[in-house]
Amino acid sequence: MIKESFKYTILSLYKTYAKTVEKPVIYKQYSEFYSVLGETMFDLLVKGQVINLPCGFGPLRIYKKSPKIVEKADGKLVLFNYRPNWAETKKLWKEKYPLRTAEELKEIKNKPLIFHKNEETDGYRYYLDVNRVHSKIPGRNTMIFNFVRLKNREFNKLIKNGRTKKVEYLEK
């Protein structure tokens, strides 16, 4: 299976648009439109709204997922839907492996990791996704939707400040 990643920016989309339209708007207007559109969509999604995407893409919404811990037959624990807390993990590695360079640390196998517990969300993780059951697009399982980093951080702040407590996100 070939894995390709396409990351489109507003500038790359504008260049394509400008080539295909006889009298394109200036880049500033184009960029402003996408900025306002993104901001509006973000506000609706955070409030628990579902955005029905056009052309049969299906409904876009924020889902929540509960992390799981599964014990394998050999006694090892496998963590699902946990994300490493890299700041705390790197602090631990500095204590546990003092005077090691970054290159030397890469060579060490099975280093301990510290994971986010998501205590402010009762352990749930949140993510943006399309309901693929209602999507009519071929290859719908290959699509990934992500907030841009700035919006991801903004959403995390809203969660930590308790601004999303009243919103009931669908569990997946």
Residue-range definition of the domain harbouring residue 96: 68-117
Which of residues 77 and 45 earns the better pLDDT score?
45
Residue 124 lies in a domain: no
With a cut of 90, say whether residue 131 has pLDDT above it.
no
Residue 42 lies in a domain: no
Distance of CA 144 to the CA centre of its chain: 9
Residue 13 lies in a domain: no
Cβ atoms of 25 and 19 closer than 8 Å: no
Residue 93 lies in a domain: yes
Residue 11 lies in a domain: no
pLDDT in tens, 80-100: 778 888 999 999 999 999 988
Residue 8 lies in a domain: no
Structural domains of the chain, count: 1
- Distance, in Å, from the CA atom of 76 to the CA atom of 38, rounded to the nearest integer, reads 43
For residue 51, give the H/E element and its range. Answer: strand 51-53
- Distance, in Å, from the CA atom of 148 to the CA atom of 2, rounded to the nearest integer, reads 25
- Distance, in Å, from the CA atom of 86 to the CA atom of 76, rounded to the nearest integer, reads 22
pLDDT in tens, 17-43: 999 999 999 999 999 998 898 889 888
Cβ atoms of 65 and 172 closer than 8 Å: yes
Cβ atoms of 45 and 51 closer than 8 Å: yes
pLDDT for 13 equals: 86
* DSSP secondary structure of 66-83: --EEEE-TTS-EEEES--
Residue 86 lies in a domain: yes
Residue 113 lies in a domain: yes
* Residues contacting residue 21 through CB under 8 Å, at least 6 positions apart: none
